[in-house]
Amino acid sequence: MWCRDQSRCITPRYVYHSQGIFPEPTSQGRVEYLGKEGTRNCSLRISDLRRSDSGTYIFYFITNHPVEKPPGQPGVTLLVADNSSEVAVSLSPAGDVVEGSSVTLFCCSTAHTPVEGYTWYQTGGSTAGDKRQMMTITNISTTDSGNYYCEALTTNKPIYSSALSINVQYAPKNTSVSVNPFGEVLMGSSVTLSCSSDANPAVERYTWLQRTESQASLRGSGQSYSITNISLEDSGQYCCVAMNKHGSQSYTVTMTVGKVNGQSSILWRLVVPVGIPIALTLIIIITVACIRRKTVPASSQQGYSLTETTIQQPLP
């Protein structure tokens, strides 16, 4: 089988598979396997080349041995240039570039004259700091987003590639909840909680949970959640979970019973925003609460107090 950008061909789509399963839609009708069983020939022909065909191609085979499996393969890198360009750039692995991962940019010259050296540039013309044909960015961050292009220095003149755009994506972070109105809320009144988060791509879903001493319950979805006709059952912690395809982060506020004309309790706590991988199904909420109680004269009217925190911890 032949696959692209996967050293062990662990992929939902194959450029070529001997059994014809799960073919890449863009490769159908354009690839031909030239190898023959029992030979060392595993050649693959790709016709009607396109820039989207650029990438690292790996040949992989599976034996009938019950234990041993072939190791991952380095593969061969194919760079496809436009007809109008003598220098092409390509990114590996292909697909989304996620914060914290590593990517490699390749530069290839189709000029007829020898290339003496390469220089990489980032948005604005600043040198990216690498003089080799390929440049690797490790632990990539949002500051690495931008356009990259390569200069190939030939014996005649320098020639430049077209720009390759890198958009670094990341899971939700800096999640917070605002409360309106904030402060003392009387029984029977209403309050609205609004959640915001920074994410790329944008947050796909906001989910609201209510956590009491005995259980956690799903309360709603959407960026805002309103509690109307507040009663004793509405007391507890309210957690907003912001989620996109790369992960999630939560933020919690607490609603406690209070006195309109006096203070019956002082609530101190540390609420830490928690980020989790998208694959997890459990939402982890870390809340440390310390309650100092103080006796005060009773009041004839009771209400609720919503308290939020601004203490943040970066997404792990």
Do 169 and 99 touch, CB atoms closer than 8 A? yes
Q: Number of structural domains, the chain?
A: 3
Q: Answer whether 0.95 is exceeded by the pTM.
A: no
CA 23 to mean position of chain CA atoms = 26
Domain boundary among the residues 129, 151, 166 is at 166
Report pLDDT for 270.
30
Report pLDDT for 218.
92
Report pLDDT for 34.
86
Do 234 and 255 touch, CB atoms closer than 8 A? yes
Locate tokens 């919690």: which residue?
A: 252
Report pLDDT for 302.
31
Pair (222, 266) in one structural domain: yes
Is 127 among the domain residues? yes
Question: What is the identity of the amino acid at 158?
Answer: P
Pair (160, 189) in one structural domain: no
Domain boundary among the residues 112, 135, 166 is at 166
Report pLDDT for 236.
84
Pair (185, 299) in one structural domain: yes
Report pLDDT for 124.
63
Is 226 among the domain residues? yes
Report pLDDT for 13.
76
Pair (31, 57) in one structural domain: yes
Q: 39 is in which domain, residue-wise?
A: 1-78
Separation CA 299–CA 297 (nearest Å): 7
Which pLDDT tens digits describe the chain residue by residue (316 residues)? 788 776 667 766 788 888 777 778 878 888 888 887 777 788 888 888 877 787 778 887 776 665 555 566 667 777 666 555 678 888 888 788 999 999 999 888 877 778 888 889 887 666 766 678 889 999 999 999 988 988 888 877 888 888 888 999 999 999 999 988 877 667 778 889 999 999 999 999 999 999 877 778 899 999 999 998 888 778 888 999 999 999 999 999 887 655 455 443 323 233 444 454 433 322 222 222 222 222 233 232 333 344 443 333 333 3
Report pLDDT for 130.
65
Report pLDDT for 280.
31
Pair (301, 234) in one structural domain: yes
Do 244 and 315 touch, CB atoms closer than 8 A? no
Report pLDDT for 83.
54
Domain boundary among the residues 78, 104, 136 is at 78
Is 314 among the domain residues? no
Report pLDDT for 53.
80
Is 3 among the domain residues? yes
Pair (290, 185) in one structural domain: yes
Locate tokens 């409360």: which residue?
A: 179
C-alpha pair distances (Å), 282 with each of 127, 215, 249, 313: 44, 14, 12, 19
Pair (285, 158) in one structural domain: no
Is 26 among the domain residues? yes
Is 202 among the domain residues? yes
